Structure 1
Amino acid sequence: MGATATVISGTGDPRDDALDDPANDSSTLLDAYSRVVTNAVEQVSPSVVRLDIRHGGRRRGGSGSGVILSPDGLILTNSHVVQGAKRADVTMLDGRGFSARVLGDDPDTDLALVRIDENATLPAARLGNSKKLKPGEIAIAIGNPLGFDASVTAGVISALGRSLRSKNGRLIEDVIQTDAALNPGNSGGPLVSTQGDVIGINTAIISGAQGICFAVAANTASFVLGQLVAHGRVRRAYLGIGAGTVPLPRRIALRLGLMQKMGAVVSAVEAGSPADHAGLLTGDILLAVEGVPITGADDLVRVLDAEKIDRTIPFDVLRRSDRRRFWAALRERS
C-alpha cells in the first residue's frame, strides 16, 4: 500500500500568506493612491488662496479661490469670481492676508489675473502641459474656501478638449472634465496632476456641474496669462464655433497624407457667425488655420489671435472623408 503525500502550499510563514491575500493588495494600492494625492496636495496647497472681491473699496463682492503662479504674487482665478471688480483681498493657507488688484479679465475663458500689492516672495505652483493629459489619469481639485484650510477632492480625468456653454452664453473652449467634485468656494482653484503640476483652473459656472468638475486647461490658461500680463485683456478673432479635441480616423489620415493625429471637431456653430457664413458644419474636423496645424481645441484658442481680426482666413477641414478648404471673414470678439 503506497504512502499518501500531502502537499502544503506556501512557506509556512504567515507573512507570505498575507501577501497572497487580495484584500491586502487592495489596501496596498489604496495606501499608494493616498500617498500620491497627499504629496500633490502638500506641494500645491500653499499656493492656493482665498479671494474676497471688493467693489468700490468695500468688501461687497463674492469670494472664490485662486492659485499663485509666480513668487511675486500673480494669481490666476475665474472671471466670474472677479465679477468685473478692480480690487480683492487675498488670504493665504497660512493665514497671511494681502491686498491685490485685478490686472485683467477674460470672460471667454472664464479666467482673470490678480496681482498682490505687497512686496513679498510667495509659494508658487507651476503650470503643466495639458496636451499630454489622457483620460483616466488622476486629477485633484484644490480650493481655499475658508482661507485657512485647503479643500481637496480627487478623481480621474473623464474627458479632454471639451467646449461648454457658460451661464452667460459664451462658449468656453479647451475644457477638462473630471469626476473630482467641485466644492462651493473652490471655483478658481487649481486642478492638479499627481506630479503637482497645475493642469487646469476649476470653474463652477457650467450649468448642471454638481458632483463633477470642469476646468479650463493649463495650456489655454498659460496663453491667457501671457496676454493679460502684456495687455490687460485678450484680443481674439471671432469664428463662432464650439470645438473639442478628437483623434483623426487613421485610414483617412493615411489616405490624405496627414501627419497630425488629432484635430478640433466642431461641436456647435453659432447662427450668423463667421463660421456659419463660411459654411462650417457640426461634425467638421479642423485640420489647419492659415496653414497652421490644429491638433486640438487649445491650438484653436491660440491661433485665433488679434493678428487675424478683420481678415479673411482659410480653414482646412476634414468633412466625412474629404479634405476641404473654407474661407471665413473674422472679426473681433466683442
Structure 2
Amino acid sequence: MADGDANRHIAVDTSPTNDSELLDAYSNAVVQVTDKVGPAVVRVDTRATKGADQRPGGVGSGIVLSPDGLVLTNNHVVGAARDIRLTMTDGLVTEARVLGTDPDTDLALLRADAVRNLTSASLGNSKALKRGQLVIAIGNPLGFESTVTAGVISALGRSIRAVSGRMIEDVIQTDAALNPGNSGGPLVSSRGEVIGINTAVIMGAQGICFAVASNTAEFVLSEIVRHGYVRRAFIGVSAQTVPIPRRHALNSGIENTMGALLTALDPQGPAARSGLISGDIVYRLDGKPVSGVDDLIRLLDRDRINRTVEIEALRLGRARVFSITPVERQRAAA
C-alpha cells in the first residue's frame, strides 16, 4: 500500500451548520405538531361536589376528537365528579358531562356542552409505532396550561395497573416529561396523530412515563359511543406483544409477524380451563389474526361473550388449537 493510501483519512463534516440543520428539523417537527394538535387540547377542571360526599377538585387534560365536542381524558381525572369544566386554548370555557368511563383502561369520554366546530385531533395507529420514535406530549402539568414536552418511545407493549386494580395492557412507555395535570392529554407522533393518552408517571423515577395506546383508546371510545360503557369478554390472561419467530411462522403457515404472548393466567379462568398455559403465543382468535395485545383486547368484545371460539397459539414452536368460551368481564367500580 502506498504511503499516500496509508495516511488517507475519511473526511467527516462536523461543521456547526449540520448540527444546526438537525436541530432545526427536530424543532420544526415539534413546532408543527404543536400548532396542529395544540388547539385541540383542553384543560379539564373537576370541581368539588357538595354535601356529605365532599371531594376536592382537580386539574387534568383532555383531547378533542370530534368537532361536536367529544373529549377523551383519563378516568382518574374525572373520578366520580359530575361537575366538570373544560377550558379551550382560545379561552372558551364550557361545562361538560361524562358519557362513559372505563376504569379498566383509565379512560373517560366527555361531551362538551353547547359548543360546536371545535378544533379536533385524530387517533393514529399505535401498532405502527417503533421504539425510538419522536413523540410530543401536550397538556397542563401542575396547572401550567398548554405545556409541550418531547421525547421518544422508550418501550411498547407494557402493562401497568389501573386505579381499578385491573392491568392495562399494551401501554406505551415514553421519556417525554409528564407531571400531574398531564393526565388525559395526548401523546402525539411527528405526523400530528394522537398515538396515546397520557395516564401515569412513576413517582421518583426520571423519564419513565406511560400512555394508553391509541388503538385501545379507539376501541373504548367506540364502545362508549355505542353502548354507554365497555362490555368485554373475559378469558383470564395477561399478555404482551412479541414477534413470532419466522421459522415457526413458516413451519405452521402463519402469516402474522407478531402475536400475543401469554404471561399469566387466572387458574379459574376460561383460558386456563381450555388448556392454554403461560408462554403460549396467540396468533388467531375466532378466525381473526391476533398481531398483538391490542388485537386480543379488541376481539374479546361483547359479541364473543358465552360463545365458544377457537384460539390458535404456538407452543414450543408448534401450532395448537384450543376451544374456549369467554365469559362477561365484571365491570370494575369507577
Which residue does 1:20 correspond to in 2?
Answer: 13
Cα 1:210/1:107, change in 2 over 3 Å: farther
- Where do 4+ consecutive residues of structure 1 move more than 6 Å? 205-209
TM-score, normalised to structure 2's length?
A: 0.88
1:187 aligns with 2:183: yes
Which residue does 2:39 correspond to in 1?
Answer: 46
1:259 aligns with 2:255: yes
Residues in 2 aligned to 1:34 and 1:218: alpha-carbon distance in whole angstroms = 24
* Selected match of 1:72 from 68, 88, 104: 68
1:241 aligns with 2:234: no
Over the aligned positions, Cα root-mean-square deviation in angstroms equals 2.2
Q: Which amino acid aligns with 1:256?
A: S
Residue 35 of structure 1, CA deviation: 1.1
Residue 208 of structure 1, CA deviation: 7.1
Rg larger in structure:
1
Unaligned runs of 5+ in 1: 1-16
Deviation string for 1:28-78 (max 9, x for gaps)? 211211111111011111111111124546983322110000111100001
1:307 aligns with 2:303: yes
Residue 26 of structure 1, CA deviation: 2.1
Residue 276 of structure 1, CA deviation: 2.6
Which residue does 2:5 correspond to in 1?
Answer: none
* Selected match of 2:125 from 120, 125, 129: 129
Residues in 2 aligned to 1:167 and 1:89: alpha-carbon distance in whole angstroms = 23
Once the two structures are superposed, the pairs formed by residues 72-91 of structure 1 within 5 Å of their partners are: 72-91=68-87
Which residue does 2:325 correspond to in 1?
Answer: 329
1:34 aligns with 2:27: yes
Q: Could you tell me whether the CA contact under 8 Å between 1:167 and 1:205 is conserved in 2?
A: no
Residue 102 of structure 1, CA deviation: 0.3
Which residue does 1:153 correspond to in 2?
Answer: 149
* Selected match of 1:108 from 104, 108, 115: 104
Cα 1:277/1:62, change in 2 over 3 Å: farther
1:60 aligns with 2:56: yes
Q: Could you tell me whether the CA contact under 8 Å between 1:63 and 1:185 is conserved in 2?
A: yes
Sequence identity (%): 57
Residues in 1 aligned to 2:203 and 2:145: alpha-carbon distance in whole angstroms = 27
Cα 1:225/1:167, change in 2 over 3 Å: closer
Residues in 2 aligned to 1:236 and 1:244: alpha-carbon distance in whole angstroms = 18
Cα 1:214/1:296, change in 2 over 3 Å: same
1:278 aligns with 2:266: no
Q: Which amino acid aligns with 1:137?
A: Q
Tell me the number of residue pairs that the alignment of Structure 1 and Structure 2 aligns.
317
Residues in 2 aligned to 1:26 and 1:122: alpha-carbon distance in whole angstroms = 39
Q: Could you tell me whether the CA contact under 8 Å between 1:166 and 1:205 is conserved in 2?
A: no
* Selected match of 1:97 from 90, 93, 106: 93
Q: Could you tell me whether the CA contact under 8 Å between 2:101 and 2:107 is conserved in 1?
A: yes
Deviation string for 1:304-332 (max 9, x for gaps)? 00111123332111111111122333211
* Selected match of 2:291 from 280, 290, 295: 295
Cα 1:222/1:264, change in 2 over 3 Å: same
Q: Could you tell me whether the CA contact under 8 Å between 2:43 and 2:145 is conserved in 1?
A: no
Q: Which amino acid aligns with 1:44?
A: V
Deviation string for 1:57-103 (max 9, x for gaps)? 69833221100001111000011111133341101122221000000
**Secondary structure, in 3 states, of the residue corresponding to 1:84?**
coil
* Selected match of 2:114 from 110, 115, 118: 118
Residues in 2 aligned to 1:312 and 1:192: alpha-carbon distance in whole angstroms = 39
Q: Which segment is superposed worse, 84-93 or 285-294?
A: 84-93
* Selected match of 1:177 from 170, 173, 195: 173
TM-score, normalised to structure 1's length?
A: 0.88
Cα 1:209/1:96, change in 2 over 3 Å: farther
Cα 1:257/1:145, change in 2 over 3 Å: same
**Secondary structure, in 3 states, of the residue corresponding to 2:65?**
strand
Q: Could you tell me whether the CA contact under 8 Å between 1:91 and 1:147 is conserved in 2?
A: no
